[in-house]
Amino acid sequence: MTSELPRVAMLSVHTSPLDQPGTGDAGGMNVYVSELSRALARRGARVEIFTRATSSALPETVVLPGTDARGDALSREDSRRVLLAEHVEPGVVPPVLVHHVPAGPFEGLDKNDLPGQLCAMTAGVLRSEAARRPGWYDVVHSHYWLSGQVGWLAADRWEVPLVHTMHTMARVKNASLAPGDSAEPTGRIIGEEQVVAEADALVASTAEESDDLVALYDADPERVHVVAPGVDLELFAPGGPDGRAEARRALGLPLDRQVVLFAGRVQPLKAPDVLVRALGVLAQRPGAGRGVPLLVVLGGPSGRPTAVRELQALAATTGLADHVLFRPPVPRAELARWYRAADVVAMPSRSESFGLVAVEAQASGTPVLASAVGGLRSVVTDGVSGRLVHGHDPAVWADAIEEVLADDAARATLGLGARRHAERFGWDGAAEQVLKVYALAAARRRS
């Protein structure tokens, strides 16, 4: 592998970095893959992302937005020229390419159906080398266990190192299921074990995730490398002295109500129902009435298409319809405005390998109330950038919400601490560390 210009096959099988985060299977991993790829390209890496085609109308190859001035779509001729170019001009950032690989029906496939399409996905990825010289790729970097299965075979065929990022782990998720939620199947656990055993390097987002890989999957500690994801510190930034009011006017939010924001997929794992029930507790307390904050749920259904409607029904049956505002997922520039508009961002997740929403909110100068689970314990510093809440009892969450909203001065101090804390996370720094992981994985492969 050349240290100056590694060629990276980035695999994101079940969800595309082009998808809108916040609904279906699109979430923090989509942001992670796209932002890391851009940062690697800024350092001279040639990155190609492979994802499953979900529509016959998708071009075979597109340019990841923000990495090339010519636009998103590439003609077949341009695509071939960019793909086969041996060198990139000095000072030119190579475009990040996204390849849509046909593997099974374009539509109607749930994530749990995808293991049956991994052979087709692998064949499509392997064919990508046919038009190139042998040894084109230097490293395979897979994301989530489905991609790891494809990456395992591709790396073996190309005789290059396999680097894998788990993002979530079945054993961790199954240990903290929401009431009524389904456990991850045994087949996934076996698949994860295989990928962990075969990977030349594993990238964990936090020390907690690293410990879980070793304790729950018998990972070789020498192969596990902790690299914290980053955040776009320019996009997600405080809005100045009148930033919150400006954001609320732009979004049509009331200026005279306190706002709690939940941003993410609506599913049991993320536990937005805990926040609705917590509002119900607050509404029953003496002197509540108009003092109940406005809860904004910014996200779409995941797992069940009726998930949002079920949460709306819960709000209605508990008499909170006027206190909960539902909005669909939004592009990242508008998401930054929602963070700035909120008094506090709440993450009652039952499991999080990292918690990108928490970092983005803190970078925007908004404190975070987060469950004391997984990566959130590293991402949120209790008493400095927000509060860590233990458990998922709605009454406990009601206490935490009431406490942080009651003291404007303390909340402002938390907001300042949130921004300072978020400045530790940057995608350029993450890319630098990942490049070192690639080099270590290559050395291990050679040995």
Q: Which residues contribute to the annotated binding site for 1D-myo-inositol 3-phosphate?
A: 14, 25-30, 111, 144, 168, 188
- CA dist 202 and 121 (Å) reads 22
Question: For residue 318, which amino acid is it?
Answer: T
The token pair at 210 is: 């690293």
Chain centroid offset of residue 316 CA: 30
Of the candidates 42, 137, 26, the one whose C-alpha atom is nearest the C-alpha of residue 91 is 42
CB-CB neighbours of 243 under 10 Å? 16
427-446 and 28-42 helices, crossing angle to 10°: 80
The residues, any chain, with a CB within 8 Å of residue 234's CB and separated by 6 or more, are: none
CB 39 within 8 A of CB 78: no
Which strand ranges, in their side-by-side order, compose the sheet holding 61-63?
61-63, 97-101, 46-52, 7-11, 139-143, 162-165, 201-204, 224-226
Of the candidates 209, 206, 207, the one whose C-alpha atom is nearest the C-alpha of residue 229 is 206
Name residue 382's beta-bridge partners.
386
Write out the E strands in 1-126.
7-11, 46-52, 61-63, 97-101
CB 206 within 8 A of CB 307: no
- CA dist 44 and 4 (Å) reads 7
Q: Per the annotation, where are the binding residues for Mg(2+)?
A: 339-340, 342, 366
Q: Per the annotation, where are the binding residues?
A: 14, 20-21, 25-30, 111, 144, 168, 188, 265, 270, 330, 339-340, 342, 352, 360, 366
- CA dist 439 and 8 (Å) reads 12
Name residue 266's beta-bridge partners.
301
The token pair at 278 is: 């917590």
Q: Per the annotation, where are the binding residues for UDP-N-acetyl-alpha-D-glucosamine?
A: 20-21, 28, 265, 270, 330, 352, 360
- The phi-psi region of residue 22 (left if phi > 0; otherwise alpha if psi is between -120 and 50; otherwise beta) is left
